[in-house]
Structure 1
Amino acid sequence: MPRTGGSYSTSDLSRKSGDVIAEALRHPVTITQRNKPRLVLLNIDDYERLIRQSDARSVGTLETMPSELLNEFEAAVDTYAGTDETNR
Protein backbone atom coordinates (compact mmCIF):
# COMPACT_ATOMS: atom_id res chain seq x y z
CA MET A 1 0.00 0.00 0.00
CA PRO A 2 1.13 3.62 -0.54
CA ARG A 3 3.37 5.24 2.04
CA THR A 4 2.22 8.34 3.88
CA GLY A 5 3.19 11.57 2.13
CA GLY A 6 3.28 10.21 -1.43
CA SER A 7 6.86 8.96 -1.31
CA TYR A 8 8.20 5.64 -2.58
CA SER A 9 11.66 4.14 -2.88
CA THR A 10 12.97 2.92 -6.20
CA SER A 11 12.44 -0.68 -4.97
CA ASP A 12 8.81 0.17 -4.16
CA LEU A 13 8.48 1.45 -7.71
CA SER A 14 9.72 -1.88 -9.03
CA ARG A 15 7.53 -3.99 -6.76
CA LYS A 16 4.39 -1.83 -6.58
CA SER A 17 4.34 0.07 -9.84
CA GLY A 18 0.54 -0.15 -10.09
CA ASP A 19 0.05 1.45 -6.66
CA VAL A 20 2.63 4.14 -7.40
CA ILE A 21 1.05 5.00 -10.75
CA ALA A 22 -2.45 5.08 -9.24
CA GLU A 23 -1.29 7.50 -6.58
CA ALA A 24 0.63 9.64 -9.10
CA LEU A 25 -2.58 10.05 -11.09
CA ARG A 26 -4.12 11.72 -8.00
CA HIS A 27 -1.14 13.84 -6.90
CA PRO A 28 2.63 14.10 -7.41
CA VAL A 29 4.65 11.23 -5.94
CA THR A 30 8.29 11.44 -4.89
CA ILE A 31 10.60 8.56 -5.74
CA THR A 32 13.57 8.22 -3.42
CA GLN A 33 16.87 6.44 -3.87
CA ARG A 34 19.01 5.78 -0.80
CA ASN A 35 16.56 7.91 1.21
CA LYS A 36 17.08 10.97 -1.00
CA PRO A 37 14.39 12.40 -3.30
CA ARG A 38 15.41 11.69 -6.90
CA LEU A 39 12.28 11.86 -9.09
CA VAL A 40 8.72 13.12 -9.09
CA LEU A 41 5.91 11.37 -10.94
CA LEU A 42 2.88 13.46 -11.78
CA ASN A 43 -0.14 13.18 -14.01
CA ILE A 44 -0.05 14.66 -17.50
CA ASP A 45 -2.47 17.50 -16.65
CA ASP A 46 -0.21 18.76 -13.86
CA TYR A 47 2.84 18.39 -16.10
CA GLU A 48 1.23 20.36 -18.94
CA ARG A 49 0.10 23.08 -16.52
CA LEU A 50 3.69 23.44 -15.26
CA ILE A 51 5.00 23.63 -18.82
CA ARG A 52 2.43 26.30 -19.74
CA GLN A 53 3.35 28.33 -16.66
CA SER A 54 7.07 28.13 -17.40
CA ASP A 55 6.47 29.25 -20.99
CA ALA A 56 4.57 32.29 -19.71
CA ARG A 57 7.70 33.71 -18.09
CA SER A 58 9.39 36.44 -20.06
CA VAL A 59 12.21 38.89 -19.77
CA GLY A 60 11.28 42.52 -19.35
CA THR A 61 12.95 45.90 -19.30
CA LEU A 62 12.51 48.97 -17.15
CA GLU A 63 10.26 50.36 -19.87
CA THR A 64 7.93 47.34 -19.71
CA MET A 65 8.00 46.97 -15.92
CA PRO A 66 4.66 47.68 -14.17
CA SER A 67 4.74 51.10 -12.50
CA GLU A 68 4.22 49.69 -8.96
CA LEU A 69 7.22 47.40 -9.37
CA LEU A 70 9.29 50.19 -10.94
CA ASN A 71 8.49 52.43 -7.95
CA GLU A 72 9.61 49.67 -5.54
CA PHE A 73 12.78 49.14 -7.57
CA GLU A 74 13.61 52.87 -7.59
CA ALA A 75 12.99 53.12 -3.83
CA ALA A 76 15.30 50.16 -3.20
CA VAL A 77 18.02 51.71 -5.37
CA ASP A 78 17.65 55.05 -3.56
CA THR A 79 17.85 53.31 -0.18
CA TYR A 80 20.92 51.36 -1.25
CA ALA A 81 22.57 54.50 -2.65
CA GLY A 82 21.89 56.35 0.62
CA THR A 83 23.38 53.51 2.65
CA ASP A 84 26.43 53.44 0.39
CA GLU A 85 26.99 57.19 0.85
CA THR A 86 26.96 56.91 4.66
CA ASN A 87 29.49 54.05 4.60
CA ARG A 88 32.10 55.98 2.57
Structure 2
Amino acid sequence: MPQSDSFYSTTDLSRKPGDIIAEALRHPVTITLGYKPRLVLLNIEDYERLLSQSDHRMPGTIETMPDALFSEFESAVDTYAQDDDGGRS
Protein backbone atom coordinates (compact mmCIF):
# COMPACT_ATOMS: atom_id res chain seq x y z
CA MET A 1 0.00 0.00 0.00
CA PRO A 2 1.38 3.45 -0.85
CA GLN A 3 2.40 5.69 1.99
CA SER A 4 0.43 8.89 2.53
CA ASP A 5 2.05 11.89 0.92
CA SER A 6 -0.94 14.24 1.15
CA PHE A 7 -1.59 16.11 4.36
CA TYR A 8 -4.72 18.11 5.16
CA SER A 9 -5.87 19.82 8.34
CA THR A 10 -9.22 19.10 9.93
CA THR A 11 -10.26 22.55 8.71
CA ASP A 12 -9.40 21.52 5.14
CA LEU A 13 -11.50 18.40 5.62
CA SER A 14 -14.52 20.43 6.71
CA ARG A 15 -14.10 22.93 3.84
CA LYS A 16 -13.50 20.53 0.96
CA PRO A 17 -14.49 17.02 2.02
CA GLY A 18 -15.36 15.87 -1.52
CA ASP A 19 -11.91 16.68 -2.90
CA ILE A 20 -10.11 15.04 0.02
CA ILE A 21 -12.30 11.93 -0.10
CA ALA A 22 -11.74 11.65 -3.86
CA GLU A 23 -8.00 11.81 -3.27
CA ALA A 24 -8.22 9.24 -0.44
CA LEU A 25 -9.85 6.84 -2.89
CA ARG A 26 -6.62 6.95 -4.93
CA HIS A 27 -4.08 6.88 -2.08
CA PRO A 28 -3.98 7.35 1.71
CA VAL A 29 -4.43 10.90 2.96
CA THR A 30 -3.22 12.12 6.37
CA ILE A 31 -5.44 14.44 8.40
CA THR A 32 -3.62 16.70 10.85
CA LEU A 33 -4.84 18.38 13.99
CA GLY A 34 -2.64 21.14 15.37
CA TYR A 35 0.05 20.28 12.77
CA LYS A 36 0.29 16.72 14.11
CA PRO A 37 -0.81 13.71 12.03
CA ARG A 38 -3.92 12.28 13.71
CA LEU A 39 -5.89 10.28 11.13
CA VAL A 40 -5.42 8.52 7.82
CA LEU A 41 -8.17 8.21 5.24
CA LEU A 42 -7.78 5.28 2.89
CA ASN A 43 -9.90 3.31 0.48
CA ILE A 44 -11.65 0.16 1.63
CA GLU A 45 -9.40 -2.14 -0.42
CA ASP A 46 -6.28 -0.84 1.32
CA TYR A 47 -8.02 -1.06 4.69
CA GLU A 48 -9.08 -4.67 4.10
CA ARG A 49 -5.55 -5.54 2.94
CA LEU A 50 -4.15 -4.10 6.17
CA LEU A 51 -6.65 -6.12 8.20
CA SER A 52 -5.79 -9.33 6.39
CA GLN A 53 -2.08 -8.76 7.03
CA SER A 54 -2.51 -7.86 10.70
CA ASP A 55 -1.45 -10.10 13.53
CA HIS A 56 -4.46 -11.99 14.89
CA ARG A 57 -2.72 -13.38 17.96
CA MET A 58 -4.69 -13.07 21.16
CA PRO A 59 -3.27 -12.68 24.65
CA GLY A 60 -3.73 -15.62 26.96
CA THR A 61 -2.46 -17.32 30.08
CA ILE A 62 -0.75 -20.60 30.78
CA GLU A 63 -4.14 -21.92 31.91
CA THR A 64 -5.69 -21.18 28.48
CA MET A 65 -2.68 -22.37 26.46
CA PRO A 66 -3.33 -25.44 24.29
CA ASP A 67 -1.70 -28.62 25.67
CA ALA A 68 0.67 -29.04 22.70
CA LEU A 69 1.91 -25.47 23.00
CA PHE A 70 2.25 -25.82 26.78
CA SER A 71 4.43 -28.93 26.27
CA GLU A 72 6.69 -27.00 23.89
CA PHE A 73 6.86 -24.12 26.35
CA GLU A 74 7.69 -26.45 29.24
CA SER A 75 10.40 -28.15 27.20
CA ALA A 76 11.94 -24.81 26.24
CA VAL A 77 11.97 -23.68 29.87
CA ASP A 78 13.61 -26.96 30.95
CA THR A 79 16.26 -26.62 28.22
CA TYR A 80 16.94 -23.03 29.24
CA ALA A 81 17.20 -23.99 32.92
CA GLN A 82 19.68 -26.80 32.10
CA ASP A 83 21.80 -24.49 29.96
CA ASP A 84 21.76 -21.84 32.68
CA ASP A 85 22.73 -24.33 35.40
CA GLY A 86 25.62 -25.62 33.29
CA GLY A 87 27.14 -22.16 33.00
CA ARG A 88 27.23 -21.48 36.75
CA SER A 89 30.11 -22.43 38.96
TM-score of the alignment, normalized to the shorter chain, above 0.5: yes
Following superposition, the deviation at residue 57 of structure 1 comes to: 4.7
Root-mean-square deviation (CA, aligned residues, Å) is 3.4
Structure 1-normalised TM-score?
0.58
Tell which structure's C-alpha radius of gyration is larger: 2
- What are structure 1's unaligned runs of at least 5 residues? 65-80
Higher relative contact order (CA 8 A, sep 6+): 2
> TM-score normalized by structure 2?
0.58
Residue in 1 aligned with 2:20?
20
Over residues 9-67 of structure 1, what are the superposed CA-to-partner deviations in whole Å (9 max), with x where a residue is unaligned? 0000000101100110000000000100010000000000111111x5548x6x99xxx
Q: Which runs of 5+ in 2 are unaligned?
A: 59-68, 73-83
The CA distance in 1 between the partners of 2:40 and 2:56, in whole Å, is 22
CA distance in 2, matches of 1:49, 1:15: 30
Identity %: 64
Counterpart Cα distance in 2 of 1:14 and 1:57:
35
